[in-house]
Amino acid sequence: MKTTLKTLLATTVLGIAGLAQANTTATTQPELTEEQQVIAAICDTTAMGTAMIATMHQSGVDKSATLADINSFAPELEKMIGNAQVAGDIVKYWQAAVTDIYQGDILKTDEEKAKYVDNVGNATFYSCVEQLSK
């Protein structure tokens, strides 16, 4: 998970600059405020990690191994984000998500697993946006 999370989140964090650039050139979409951009980046990172946790569970990775990967990745996430509190909050969310996700069954078909992982990621993203936008 560490390598996958690292690659995935590096892309997300680096994508913040691209999102800001896109706002200056896009004419057909409403412009995002700086606060909205930050919320989107935090929630995207949180959602991608949570979807990765769901993928690991559906792939049969042991719960303790998933938690160990998250914990070993935490310092790297902090460096990537540049904010210890935000990184810590994301890690705490992922740790809680492991407990919730691993209570569920491993689904039978690849199609069911893919839909489940997609739903976990989407639900996490929209819930995060709702919470941070209050």
CB 41 within 8 A of CB 130: no
Res 10: pLDDT: 53
Q: What percent of the chain has pLDDT over 70?
A: 79
Instruction: Provide the whole-model pTM.
Output: 0.80
Q: Retrieve residue 100's tokens.
A: 């919730």
Would you tell me how many other CB atoms lie within 10 Å of the CB of residue 123? Answer: 13
Residue type, 134: K
Stated as kind and residue range, the H or E segment containing 57 is helix 34-58
Q: CA-to-CA distance for 91 and 74, rounded, in angstroms?
A: 6
**pLDDT (tens digit per residue) in 61-93:** 999 999 999 999 999 999 999 999 999 999 999
